[in-house]
Amino acid sequence: MLGGVLIAEMFAQETGSIPDLIHLHAVARPDHAALIAGDDRLDYAGLDAMMDRVAAALQRDGVGPGGVVAIAAASSIPYVAAYLGAVRAGVSVAPLQPSATPDSLAAMLDDAGAAAVFLDEATARALATATRPIRGTRISLDGRSPEIGGGDGLAGGAAGRPFTDWLAPPGATPRAVALDPEAPFNLIYSSGTTGTPKGIVQSHRMRWAHVRRGDLFGYSPETITLVSTPLYSNTTLVSLLPTLALGGASVLMPRFDPGEFLWLAEHHRASHAMLVPVQYDRILRHDRFDATDLSSFRMKFCTSAPFSAALKAEVLRRWPGGLIEYFGMTEGGGTCILVAHLYPDKLHTVGRPAEGHDIRIIDDHGRELAPGDIGEIVGHAPHAMMNGYHGRPDATAAAEWRDATGKRFIRTGDLGRFDADGFLAIVGRKKDVIISGGFNVYPVDLEAAVAAHAAVAEVAVVGVPSARWGETPVAYVVLAPGHEVDADALRAFANARLGSTQRIADVIVTAALPRSPIGKVLKRELRDAYAGPARG
């Protein structure tokens, strides 16, 4: 009972410690499952103890507040314990995309200045081909240290010391560390699809703001969250951390598979899940979906990529429980929330600004625009703004906009407009706007026209060079299973629904759209791949 009172008191504070919350859950309900992965299960007492052993091991190795460790591995129980144990020691964590190129991983490790890197065998083998040296202690999360060559450094050495050997002894207690709310909690690297990834510094205060809103969306000690997105992504952390902060259980998937997701959801009676749009689509299309009992779901979430109104409607129709879409950035700066099950007539939007969040629309000159006008979305959120880009003050300044009072906002790079009810509709990425014959053409409008055809499963529209118009739109289309359609006929179908300045010049039918690991369509790859000729 005492633990529950202390947890409630901590949640009432504007700042707090996620590791301390986990300790309180370990005291209040030590045997309650915290993490599940396959046949492995770790209760709160075990998680708390393992976090202590991680923190004590880092302190033993001279890594403390101000230090950074990196993790590049598939999702696992040791991954989460290492992450939270480092945070307990006041050490910032840089979770890295294990599927990044070896040289990109090496560059991020160097940029972060990681004193240690936690790896799995697959990532270690990939990193062995990196052309630059990799420094820092290497710890193998899957417990093996296979030799992958000779020499010093990860580029030619071993995967690392097994995690169980590296940990401090059972029962070890780390020195207490007072966590500065403004100090870095983690360092999350951008996708890097348009250049060198930037390290986004998120503070303890920012993470605390994320977990405090958890009880608004049904997170509780009885929550069972199915985690199917990778742990290096902010998308995952905004679901995983509230689950643990509020004493629920997280079921980890090392990689996403729609059939496995359905089996785990039914088997564990999942109540919550954070999914990206392409995952919703694949799950709904799975031949076992309608036969799977998903009645345990209380809330589902979505973020990270455009979520079509049609797909939202299908989720609401076929999948029990509520549906919430977040619109925001890893950098923070304001969030819009669409409670889709309460506003079925607003599925074409991303909802309204969260309580206390200030979202505005500005033009290319930084001037504020009126409701209904299209411009860049900028946002401010109390306690939920990145400290900045790690070691890149110029990039940080470029990402900021300040109003007449000097209030700091983060630029999203997205274009949108508010409707009369205060709901925000996204019209596309600023960099993806097609300027054709002097007119701004927004791909989202064209994609909606193409997607209206029954044969279309997915579509992405990009601008390609045109001698006549400067740029002209080209649509890449993935057909629905069992459907066929002539590309010219599909182009005519869409153009009949578009204005004269919006006409699509070419349609390319393709087997799949290129995507990032978190599901974003890589439009630059489509633009670069187009060989034309583009008409019109």
- DSSP notation for 381-409: -TT-B--EETT-HHHHHHTEEE-TT--EE
Measured between alpha carbons, how far is 343 from 473 in angstroms, rounded to an integer? 32
- Residue 121: CB atoms within 10 Å: 19
Coil/strand/helix, residue 79: helix
Measured between alpha carbons, how far is 445 from 427 in angstroms, rounded to an integer? 7
What's the predicted TM-score (pTM) here? 0.88
Which of 26-40, 147-161, 404-418, 460-474 shows the lowest per-residue confidence on average (mean pLDDT)?
147-161
Q: At a CB cut-off of 8 Å and minimum separation 6, what does 510 contact? A: 476, 477, 478
HSE-up of residue 294 (Cα within 13 Å, Cβ side): 27
The whole-number average pLDDT for the span 513-530 is: 89
**Above 60 in pLDDT, residue 151?**
no
The whole-number average pLDDT for the span 74-94 is: 97
Domains and CATH numbers, the chain: 40-206 (3.40.50.12780), 210-384+412-428 (3.40.50.12780), 433-529 (3.30.300.30)
Q: What is the mean pLDDT of the chain?
A: 91
- The pLDDT assigned to 169 comes to 97
Measured between alpha carbons, how far is 135 from 132 in angstroms, rounded to an integer? 10
Q: Residue 328: which of 384, 392, 402 has the closest Cα?
A: 384
Strands (E), 106-183: 116-119, 137-140, 161-162
- Token code pair at residue 261: 């997701």
464-494 pLDDT tens trace: 998 888 899 999 999 999 999 999 999 999 9
**Above 70 in pLDDT, residue 323?**
yes
- The pLDDT assigned to 2 comes to 52
276-310 pLDDT tens trace: 999 999 999 999 999 999 999 999 999 988 899 99
- The pLDDT assigned to 8 comes to 81
The whole-number average pLDDT for the span 370-376 is: 95
Beta bridge partner(s), residue 33 = 43
Measured between alpha carbons, how far is 184 from 416 in angstroms, rounded to an integer? 31
Confidence of residue 7 (pLDDT cuts 50, 70, 90): confident
- Going across the sheet that includes 470-479, the strands are 456-466, 470-479, 506-509
- The pLDDT assigned to 159 comes to 65
In the chain, the amino acid numbered 21 is L
* Residue with tokens 């209040």, as numbered in its chain: 28
Rg (CA), the chain: 24
